[in-house]
Amino acid sequence: MSNSRRLENLPKPVKTMLGIAGVADAVLRAYALVDVARREQSEINGPKEAWVPALALVNSLGLLPVAYLKWGRRR
């Protein structure tokens, strides 16, 4: 059974929520990546070289960008 067939069988509210979650993840990820790029290394907890690929490549359902925004930045 192909993935498209399985998605077709989902109820419309579930499809809507998956779409909203995907958009929210993309927005959080983009915001966090822009924030990392604009900050100096001294303003970030941990190396920038670790945050950038993690934020760009790890599929975390929005948890990694939220973790960066909460704990990865120095105030």
Confidence at residue 58, expressed as pLDDT on a 0 to 100 scale? 86
CA 16 vs CA 12, 22, 27, 59: distances in Å: 6, 10, 17, 19
Q: How much is the pLDDT for 13?
A: 95
pLDDT tens digits along 30-72: 999 999 999 999 999 999 999 999 999 888 888 899 999 999 9
- The confidence score (pLDDT) of residue 60 equals 81
* Residue ranges of domains in the chain: 12-72
